[in-house]
Amino acid sequence: MADPRIKKLASILVHHSISVKKGETVLISASSELAKPLVLEVYKEVMRAGAHPMTSINFEETSNIYYAHATKEQIANFPKIKMFEAKNIDCFVTIRAAANKKAMSNIDPKIIAERSKVVRPISEEIVNNKRWILCNFPTNALAQEADMSLEEYEDFLYGATNVDWKKVKQKEMKLKNVLDKANEVHLVGKDTDLKLSIKGRKAIPCYGERNMPDGEVFLSPVEDSAEGHIFYEMPAIYQGREVTGIRLKFSKGKVVEAKADKNEKFLLTMLDTDKGARFLGELGIGVNYGIQQFSKDILFDEKIGGTVHLAVGRSYEQAGGKNISAIHWDMIKDLRKNGAIYLDGKAIQKNGKFLI
C-alpha cells in the first residue's frame, strides 16, 4: 500500500500545481526508476481527472553513456521528436529521483554546455508555453546529500510539500505588491553590496505551480543594471558539480570577475556558455520558513526563508525578462545573519526577517 503522503503529494501535483483538465495530455517524466511509487500515483490522479497520461522513465546511467560516446554530430543533433512532444503535450510533471548525485561529475562541462545550447529551444517551449511542475521523490542519494537518513528526508520532503498552498499565496501577494512598486533592489550582506534595477518588472509569487516545494517571489532584473559584488555562502550545484565560495563582480549587468574556492574552472566554463550566461536572469526571495536546513538541492534551498537567490543565464518571459541563455544557474545568498534587502533605500528585510 502506498504511503498516504505520496498519494497526497500526487493529488497536489495534478489538481493544484498543473490543474489537469479533462481531455488534456500529460507527460509524467522521471529521472530514474526509483520514482515509480509517485509516478504511479500521479498516473492514477491524471486518469481520475479524465486526462491522458504518458510516461517517460529514464535510467540515470544513460547520461554518462551518452556523453562518453557521443560524436560531434550526435551532440549537434536536434531531437525533433522531443520538440514535437513539447509542442503537443499540455502539461508536464517532472520527478527527480537520483540514485547518485555525483553521476556526472567527471563529464567535460564544455560538452554539457554544447548539448544544452542544442536542446535549449525545447526547454524554452516547455518553460514559457506549458504548464509544468518539478518535484523530488525521496531516495537514499538525496538523503545522503542532505546529511539525513532516508526516513528523515521523507519527513523533510513531505513536510515541505504537503501544505495549504492557497494560504502561502496570500502571504506572498503582500511581498509582490511591494516589489511591483519599487525601482531598485539593494542587497547587503557578508562580502556583498549589489544593486539591481527592477523598474517596470513585475514580481511573480510562487505557491506550488512550478516547483514543489515552493515558497518564493521572483522577478527578472533589468539586464544591464547589476552593479557591485556578491558572495555566496552556500554551495552552488549545477550539472552535478558543486562549486563553493563563489564571488561575482558585476558591471553594467555583466559578470566581469568570477572566483570560487572549489571548481572555479567549471564556474568559468558555464559563464562562458553563451553571451547571456554572464547576465542575471532572476532574482528570487525565499519565503518558506518551514525550510531552514540546507540540503544541497536548489529545489528546496532557494526557498529557504531569509535567503535570496540570483540566477545567471536564462530569464523568464512571464517575469519580463529578456536575457537568453542555454543555462539558468541559481546561486543562494544567506541574509539571515547581518544581511538586508532594501527597496529604493528602505529596508524591507533585515537578518532574514521581513519588516513589511
Counting residues of the chain whose pLDDT is more than 70, the rounded percentage is 100
Query: Tell me, what's the pLDDT at 93?
Result: 97
Alpha-carbon gap, residue 155 to 129, rounded angstroms = 33
Beta strand segments in the chain, E: 25-30, 52-57, 91-96, 131-136, 184-189, 192-197, 204-206, 211-212, 216-219, 227-232, 236-238, 241-243, 246-251, 254-259, 280-286, 307-313, 328-334, 340-343, 346-350, 353-354
Contact 319, 281 (CB under 8 A): no
Write down the residue that cell numbers 512598486 correspond to: 181
| pLDDT, tens digit, 9 for 90 and up, residues 38-90 | 999 999 999 999 999 999 999 988 988 999 899 999 999 999 999 999 999 99
Lowest mean pLDDT among 27-41, 189-203, 292-306: 292-306
For the record, the C-alpha cell of 123 comes out as: 526547454
Cα–Cα distance for residue pair 254/227, rounded to 1 Å: 8
pLDDT digits (tens, 9 = 90+) for 224-237: 999 999 999 999 99
This model's pTM is above 0.85: no
In 209-320, which residue ranges form alpha helices assigned H by DSSP? 264-271, 298-301
Reference 271, options 302, 238, 230, 303; nearest CA is: 238
pLDDT at 108: 86
Q: Shortest CA distance to 262 belongs to which of 278, 238, 246?
A: 246
Query: Which pLDDT band holds residue 174 (cuts at 50, 70, 90)?
Result: very high
Band (317; pLDDT cuts 50, 70, 90): confident
* pLDDT number for residue 352: 95
Hey, what domains does the chain have and what are their CATH numbers? 4-161 (3.40.1830.10), 165-354 (no CATH)
Residue 217 has φ and ψ, to the nearest 5°, of -125, 125
pLDDT-derived band at 109, boundaries 50, 70, 90? confident
Assigned C-alpha cell, 187? 542587497
116-150: per-residue pLDDT in tens? 999 999 998 998 899 999 999 999 999 998 999 99
* pLDDT of res. 1: 66
User: pLDDT for 35-47, tens place per residue?
Assistant: 999 999 999 999 9
Q: Which residue has the cell 533605500?
A: 345
